[in-house]
């Protein structure tokens, strides 16, 4: 077993159970990609077992802080069983659910999303790449009924020095499945959809939105960055009369339109705009359009700390434009999924946007990802999604 020795003082974050060690903290030692190493403080004290990633700035990701723990196939099987068990005890239906949420479930870099009989694996770290077949074996034992599809094509693979990898790991056949979310039928295309196919993390926000539209009797809804129409269906469920969905992906909008039909809603209530959101918001403002509620759920604007400033401007722009399109009493459900933009900063950006639009608003609720995306107390980076539900004064 290879040993990695840290610089003096660099053991502190590990002692606080944070699962990452950056390259600059390492004094001595190296290993192969994904290899398990023993991590020691400068004085030789044992700190953790971790996976080594030679290409990544995040050079080590911790498997365990317990010196007696063996990192073997049984370890991964146990972590997987625990993660799935947690969803069971929370009463989350497992047919459209995140089964493993990376660091927060003790499996750094590992995402497992289940859609009906397909589980999608995203291996985002050298360690998970190395133990992939052990994980697949464990999953097959725990869930013999599922097929397993790999979507390791996210940009972060590059940072880990790993090639892209997609395709069946177990089973074969159609990569398109039907799921039920909040009693709505949705199609997920695991081979071609975004991320692992769908944005499971917004499930709770969508239910909340449907309830809001219903309780407030909201009629005109604008859903920006609609993807396959998650919030569009929520608005229709809540009784909205006119829902406009904007996205720059034609296939996503086509699927959104299919979803409207699949769930038996009148097609006349839904309009789809294949265009840039920013340009569309400007056009709508110039036309004097008004909506009772607007959803802004953009893609990640900042994927590194260097991009935060530019991202802040982009968030501010769309939120400012949205405020112009709301009458007094109108609702804005606005999100950021950029890890680098914290909840405080996001709120400041939105406050600035309101000010620039000459508007004022109240925060009625704050939202985050659902219960199947738990957050480790020691890993604040896991909190990437934040939402503000605002009512314009």
- Measured over the CA atoms of residue 126, residue 128, residue 134 and residue 140, the dihedral's sign is negative
267 to 306, contacts with ligand SAH by CB under 6 A? Answer: 276-277, 297-299
Residue 108 or 230 with smaller CB distance to ligand SAH? 230
Of 76-84, 242-250, 344-352, 372-380, which segment contacts ligand SAH by CB under 6 A?
242-250
Terminal Cα-to-Cα distance of the chain (whole angstroms): 62
Of 105-113, 135-143, 226-234, 365-373, which segment contacts ligand SAH by CB under 6 A?
226-234
Least distance in angstroms from the C-beta of 296 to ligand SAH:
9
32 to 91, contacts with ligand SAH by CB under 6 A? Answer: none
Using CB under 6 A as the binding rule, whether residue 129 contacts ligand SAH is answered as: no
Which residue has its beta carbon closest to ligand SAH? 230
Task: State both tokens at 317.
Answer: 């722009």
Q: How far apart are CA 177 and CA 383, in angstroms?
A: 28
Q: Select from 247, 316, 353, 382 the one that contacts ligand SAH (CB under 6 A).
A: 247
Using CB under 6 A as the binding rule, whether residue 178 contacts ligand SAH is answered as: no
Using CB under 6 A as the binding rule, whether residue 251 contacts ligand SAH is answered as: no
Q: How far apart are CA 253 and CA 230, in angstroms?
A: 11
Q: How far apart are CA 382 and CA 386, in angstroms?
A: 11
Contacts 24+ apart (CB under 8 A), 72-78: 72/134, 73/131, 73/134, 73/137, 73/138, 76/107, 76/131, 76/134, 76/135, 76/138, 77/134, 77/137, 77/138, 77/141, 77/142
Of 117-125, 157-165, 221-229, 259-267, which segment contacts ligand SAH by CB under 6 A?
221-229
Residues 6+ apart with CB under 8 A from 129: 33, 34, 123, 152, 160, 162
Using CB under 6 A as the binding rule, whether residue 230 contacts ligand SAH is answered as: yes
Using CB under 6 A as the binding rule, whether residue 333 contacts ligand SAH is answered as: no
Residue 127 or 298 with smaller CB distance to ligand SAH? 298
Using CB under 6 A as the binding rule, whether residue 248 contacts ligand SAH is answered as: yes
Q: How far apart are CA 110 and CA 121, in angstroms?
A: 7
Is 337 labeled as catalytic in the residue annotation?
yes
Residue 10 or 386 with smaller CB distance to ligand SAH? 386
Which residues bind to ligand SAH, rule: CB under 6 A? 199, 202, 225-228, 230-231, 246-249, 252, 276-277, 297-299
Cite the active site residues. 337
């Amino acid at each position: 077993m290879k040993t990695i020795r840290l610089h003096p003082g660099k053991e502190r974050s590990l002692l606080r159970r944070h699962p990452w060690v950056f390259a600059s903290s390492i004094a001595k030692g190296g290993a192969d990609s994904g290899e398990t190493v023993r991590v020691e403080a400068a004085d030789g004290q044992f700190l953790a077992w971790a996976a080594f990633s030679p290409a990544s700035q995040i050079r080590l990701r911790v498997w365990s802080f317990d010196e007696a723990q063996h990192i073997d196939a049984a370890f991964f099987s146990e972590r997987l069983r625990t993660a799935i068990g947690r969803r069971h005890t929370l009463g989350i239906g497992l047919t459209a659910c995140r089964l493993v949420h990376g660091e927060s479930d003790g499996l750094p870099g590992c995402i497992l999303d289940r859609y009906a009989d397909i589980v999608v694996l995203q291996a985002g770290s050298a360690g998970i790449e190395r133990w992939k077949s052990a994980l697949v074996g464990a999953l097959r034992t725990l869930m013999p009924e599922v097929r397993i599809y790999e979507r390791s094509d996210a940009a972060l693979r590059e940072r880990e020095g790993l090639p892209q990898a997609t395709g069946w790991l177990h089973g074969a056949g159609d990569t398109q499945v039907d799921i039920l979310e909040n009693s709505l039928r949705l199609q997920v295309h695991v081979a071609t959809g975004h991320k692992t196919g769908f944005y499971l993390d917004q499930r709770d926000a969508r239910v909340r939105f449907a309830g809001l539209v219903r309780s407030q009797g909201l009629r005109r809804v604008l859903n920006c960055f609609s993807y396959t129409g998650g919030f569009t269906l929520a608005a229709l469920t809540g009784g909205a009369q006119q829902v406009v969905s904007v996205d720059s992906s034609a296939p996503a909008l086509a699927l959104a339109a299919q979803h409207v039909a699949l769930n038996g809603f009148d097609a006349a209530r839904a309009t789809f705009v294949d265009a840039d959101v920013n340009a569309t918001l400007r056009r709508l403002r110039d036309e004097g359009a008004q909506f009772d509620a607007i959803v802004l759920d953009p893609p990640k604007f900042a994927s590194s700390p260097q991009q935060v400033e530019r991202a802040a401007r982009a968030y501010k722009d769309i939120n400012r434009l949205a405020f112009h399109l709301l009458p007094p009493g109108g609702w804005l459900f606005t999100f950021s999924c950029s890890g680098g933009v914290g909840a405080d900063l996001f709120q400041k950006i939105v406050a600035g946007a309101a000010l620039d639009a000459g508007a004022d608003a109240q925060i009625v609720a704050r939202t985050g990802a659902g219960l199947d995306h738990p957050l480790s107390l020691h890993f604040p980076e896991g909190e990437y999604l934040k939402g503000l539900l605002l009512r314009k004064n």
